[in-house]
Amino acid sequence: MEPKAVSLEMREYIVEMGAETVNWCMQCGLCTNLCPWRLVPGETSEVFNIRHMQRLGQMGMEGFEDETVLFACSTCSMCQTNCPRGVKIVDNVRAMRSSIVGGGMVPANLRPILGSAHANGNPWSGARENRTAWQEGLNVPRFGTDTEYFLFVCCHSCYDPRSTRVARSIVKLLEHAGVSFGVIGAEESCCGESMRKLGDEELFQKLAQSNIELFNGKGVKKIITTSPHCLWTFKNEYPELGGEWEVIHYTELLRGLLAEGKLSFPKDLGKKVAFHDPCYLGRHSNIYDAPRDLLGGIAGVETVELGRKRELSLCCAGGGGRIWAEVPMGERFGELRVTDALESGANVLTTSCPYCLNMLTDACNSLEKQEVLEINELSELLAAGLP
Q: Which residues bind ligand SF4 (CB under 6 A)?
A: 25-31, 34-37, 50-51, 54, 73-79, 82-83, 85, 87, 89-90, 315
Question: Could you tell me the smallest distance in angstroms from the CB atom of residue 298 to ligand SF4?
Answer: 31
| Helix or strand holding residue 341 (H, E) | helix 333-344
Residue closer to ligand SF4 by CB (options 271, 284) is 284
Residue closer to ligand SF4 by CB (options 50, 173) is 50
CA 275/CA 282 separation, integer angstroms:
12
Question: Could you tell me the smallest distance in angstroms from the CB atom of residue 44 to ligand SF4?
Answer: 10
Residue closer to ligand SF4 by CB (options 79, 363) is 79
Question: Could you tell me the smallest distance in angstroms from the CB atom of residue 119 to ligand SF4?
Answer: 29
3-state secondary structure of 339: helix
Residue closer to ligand SF4 by CB (options 237, 302) is 237
Residue closer to ligand SF4 by CB (options 36, 182) is 36
Evaluate whether 109 touches 62 at the Cβ level (below 8 Å). no
Alpha-carbon torsion angle 149, 150, 154, 155, nearest 10: 160
DSSP string, 155-215: HHHHH-TTTHHHHHHHHHHHHHTT--EEB--TT-----HHHHHTT-HHHHHHHHHHHHHHH
Residue closer to ligand SF4 by CB (options 28, 119) is 28
Question: Could you tell me the smallest distance in angstroms from the CB atom of residue 193 to ligand SF4?
Answer: 14
CA 323/CA 257 separation, integer angstroms:
32
Question: Could you tell me the smallest distance in angstroms from the CB atom of residue 376 to ligand SF4?
Answer: 25
Evaluate whether 218 touches 224 at the Cβ level (below 8 Å). no
Question: Could you tell me the smallest distance in angstroms from the CB atom of residue 368 to ligand SF4?
Answer: 26
Q: Which DSSP category does 6 fall into?
A: P
Strand partners, 224: 151, 248
3-state secondary structure of 270: coil
Residue 148: partners with Cβ closer than 8 Å, 6 or more residues away:
179, 180, 181, 221, 222
Please, how many CA atoms are within 13 Å of residue 67, restricted to the half-sphere of its CB? 10
Question: Could you tell me the smallest distance in angstroms from the CB atom of residue 336 to ligand SF4?
Answer: 13
Question: Could you tell me the smallest distance in angstroms from the CB atom of residue 34 to ligand SF4?
Answer: 6
Residue closer to ligand SF4 by CB (options 63, 115) is 63
Evaluate whether 102 touches 94 at the Cβ level (below 8 Å). no
One-letter amino acid of 366: S
CB-based burial label for 290 (10 Å; 0-12, 13-18, 19+): buried
Question: Could you tell me the smallest distance in angstroms from the CB atom of residue 55 to ligand SF4?
Answer: 8
Question: Could you tell me the smallest distance in angstroms from the CB atom of residue 29 to ligand SF4?
Answer: 5
Residue closer to ligand SF4 by CB (options 77, 379) is 77
Residue closer to ligand SF4 by CB (options 79, 263) is 79
Residue closer to ligand SF4 by CB (options 5, 26) is 26
CA 363/CA 270 separation, integer angstroms:
24
Evaluate whether 78 touches 93 at the Cβ level (below 8 Å). no
Give the phi and the psi of residue 152 in degrees, each rounded to 5. Answer: -100, 115
